[in-house]
Structure 1
């Protein structure tokens, strides 16, 4: 089994997880360690990440903006979907002349963030199998900014499933998300000596099927905290509601229950100091 490093965010947004992941992956790669990066679940906004969206459409691949920042450091030959098995696309609505958005539970996050697509990927012997949920009515009737052509390019050869409500998406997630993530993780782990897992937003444990990790690093602006993995998992389990996943438990829920093993300073523009990076990547051993 590979060494597993879990990166979580102290804040819901802009904690610095991907910058840390990139620095760690680069450090391991420079040391000659077979390294992989895994982003189990993610999402981006069609409008706010318009450049990334356009590249996804051109490539015919719906995947994480964070992964795009890491992929150049990683071994070739692995489809990006297997490193990022579940990805959601949110899109602004087209408001009417009274600035009203369509009435749908897919827009509960706000009129600018309607859930319009969600990809689920599983590894297969000859590659991978993708299923994409699509808010067909919103797209077909022009109620959101994304076009039918763009959706078609992003779906590609994947199985296409129509959804009408947030409950439709949550129902599909409940059945398929954990299996997709666990299977893709197992596939990647076989190829690596070290695997860096980046959690979603401030989720402290990204999926229930992740039985253990070797290190938990929780990051925020200017600082990084190393926690006992066993204690973080125990705290996540304590706050996980029956029938739900550990991924729903946020850092703020468990922060009073855990104490860091060590604190590291992060520096503007460079992140970890060279000495701290060597310590975390094992170069000082």
Structure 2
């Protein structure tokens, strides 16, 4: 059984909290194919990882901790990107207004490859904390595309094969991206946002992703959740109660509070 958790909002949709409770409920392994965090806004999380010579974010850490066997965050999150804010109107290397890429980690712990933005002022703690001596340095969009073709695409393909071989998997997307793995067809999908979730059949959701990817909207290479949902009617709508910080940190408490949503999701997945 493969379940996808996507978010209707770019930030703070509640995907990870929903996913950790779902992992507890189903005994599945959680996956976060792509993730990122910010050197400035997520500095505590950044330091926790980099001080140990690693790079991962709190979402992947929470999913890994909730999963059976407690895998490394890097094992369930093969691509992690570290951003930093850019003051003023300048755009970063990949055209993200107000921020730029510093470093990408690609691959699992002990087998990582690194990609460094040669046009950025990479903080000394990044260069000192991470093993970047053999990193691929990129100074243009075309060079970054080459690195992603050579490193990111194979890493994502390998993760897709692992997920396909799993009996049970919960896959969490990132930002408001509709699906984090190309060609991934889950059994059911939960689209999470503050106060509610909407449940969709996996096959129809995957088909809608294909239709949305063929549109000319904004020239996107990834389908955004709102564009996909414009093409679908949900199978169920379930209200989500507000949770305290203590409850959000406890997957069993989340599973209890979100039980009606999980029941609706699993009913669609098992049809």
TM category, shorter: 0.7 to 0.9
Match of 1:167 in 2: 142
Match of 1:116 in 2: 102
Alpha-carbon separation, structure 2, partners of 1:106 and 1:42 = 18
Q: Structure 1 273/74 Cα, relative in aligned 2: closer, same or farther at 3 Å? A: closer
**Structure 1 residue 70: deviation in Å?**
2.5
Contact 1:16 1:219 in 2 (8 A): yes
TM-score when scaled to structure 2?
Answer: 0.82
Is 1:266 matched with 2:247? no
Match of 2:199 in 1: 226
Match of 1:136 in 2: 118
2:230 to 222, 243, 256: 256
1:199 to 173, 176, 179: 173
Match of 2:67 in 1: 74
SS in 2 for 1:23: helix
Output one character per residue of 1:2-51: Cα deviation in whole Å (capped at 9) or x when no partner: x10001111122211111001111222xxxx3x21110011111000010
Match of 1:5 in 2: 3
Is 1:89 matched with 2:63? no
**Structure 1 residue 187: deviation in Å?**
3.1
**Structure 1 residue 128: deviation in Å?**
5.7
1:154 to 130, 142, 155: 130
Give unpaired runs (5+ residues) of structure 1: none
Alpha-carbon separation, structure 1, partners of 2:13 and 2:91 = 31
TM-score when scaled to structure 1?
Answer: 0.78
SS in 1 for 2:175: coil
Q: Structure 1 19/86 Cα, relative in aligned 2: closer, same or farther at 3 Å? A: same
Match of 1:23 in 2: 21
Alpha-carbon separation, structure 2, partners of 1:128 and 1:230 = 36
Match of 2:33 in 1: 40
SS in 2 for 1:87: strand
Output the aligned Cα RMSD: 2.9
**Structure 1 residue 88: deviation in Å?**
0.5
Q: Report the structure number with the largest CA radius of gyration.
A: 1
**Structure 1 residue 76: deviation in Å?**
3.5
Match of 2:186 in 1: 213
**Structure 1 residue 119: deviation in Å?**
1.4
**Structure 1 residue 279: deviation in Å?**
5.4
Residues 43-58 of structure 1: pairs in structure 2 closer than 5 A:
43-58=36-51
Pairs aligned (count) = 254
